[in-house]
Structure 1
Amino acid sequence: MRKLGADEAALWAKVVATVEPLSRDPATREPTKSLKKMKVPPPRGDYVPPRPKTPAKPPSVVPTSGGLDGGWDKRLSQGRVAPDRVIDLHGHRLDDAWEAIDRGLGDAIASGDRLVLLITGHPPKGAPPVERGRIRAAVHDWLGASRHSGQIATVRGAHQRHGGRGALYVVLRRQR
């Protein structure tokens, strides 16, 4: 990585001085102050703008296939495994569900559990599509972005006896 030139460093210092941290709580968030117009030095003749990078692949989400041997796959598909821990998200709002998943996975990893049953629930019949299954729709993204994503081997749909389409198996990696 190259070092900033004197004029670039001065410009960067002006930008940093205008930054205000945002509060995550909307009630305490203050409106941002209007920024002063900054004078940007004209580009030098020898300046070549950096080439735009090729778009990066989106961050990988937790794998839903692979990562397990045939024995695990067979037992999961036949429902012959007993979950070590159950995280039930019934009655949770979207924000609370994320916290419950994070806390439940942390506890499962700390206690050495291998199989977590994550119950998202079936969507209510007749609910409009926007209202239906918001937690279920967000679960894969949450697991992929979670601080525990490195410990997750795979995520599979649960067998009918464990909730079918309203639940997921989260298989955790073996601790070494």
Structure 2
Amino acid sequence: MPSAEQGATIPPAGKAPPVFTRPVKPKPSPVSPPRAAPPPPVAPTGRGLDSHWDRRFGRGAIEPDFTLDLHGHTLEAAHARLDAGLAQARAMDARVVLLIAGKDRGAPAADRGDSRGAIRSKLLDWLAAGPHGSVIAAIRKAHRRHGGEGALYLVLRRPRG
């Protein structure tokens, strides 16, 4: 038993020494959490136009400068017609192109082949990868009087110079 001279304290008989507990908070990790990868680039659908354009599209107050109808073509013919038609629209300084391509059928493009909705399902890929992708400012769904879900508006950037 330790003596009182050594500085040890002996608790009185029958009483336990007080126990002090404090909740332990986990320490924050010195390494910051990993950042989410940036989203992949997509075809221009919502940016590039101000709200004035959106209101006019919603009311159906915009008349297209050029109409391009791909409905009823084969995939190869529709792709060629799309590129040629956009080149023609740009040569005419068209700002809004009405693109008629039929309704989207909901199945993935790879599963379509030549079935209904194949052109519409591949359309955004063609536009993004094609020679005219950089001149498209926005893509919007067409108003009901211009074809509704079976058509799109392509808003082309103004020519520079």
TM-score when normalising by structure 2? 0.67
Matched, 1:132 2:116: yes
Report which stretch shifted further, 129-138 or 154-163. Answer: 129-138
With over 3 angstroms needed to count, the CA separation of the structure-2 counterparts of 1:73 and 1:56, relative to structure 1, is closer
8 Å CA contact 1:61–1:145 kept in 2: the answer is no
Q: Deviations over 1:110-133 (max 9, x none)?
A: 111000000012369xxxx84230
Counterpart Cα distance in 2 of 1:171 and 1:132: 26
Where does 1:92-103 land on structure 2 (aligned, <5 Å)?
92-103=73-84
TM-score when normalising by structure 1? 0.61
Q: Secondary structure at the match of 2:93?
A: coil
- Number of equivalent positions: 117
Q: Which amino acid aligns with 2:88?
A: D
Unaligned runs of 5+ in 2: 1-36, 106-110
In the alignment, which residue of structure 2 is the partner of 1:157? 141
Matched, 1:107 2:88: yes
Unaligned runs of 5+ in 1: 1-54
Tell me how large the CA RMSD over aligned residues is: 2.1
How much identity, in percent, do the aligned residues show? 50
Aligned-residue offset at 1:62:
2.1
Where does 1:1-150 land on structure 2 (aligned, <5 Å)?
58=40, 60-122=41-103, 130=112, 131-150=115-134
Larger Rg computed on CA atoms:
2
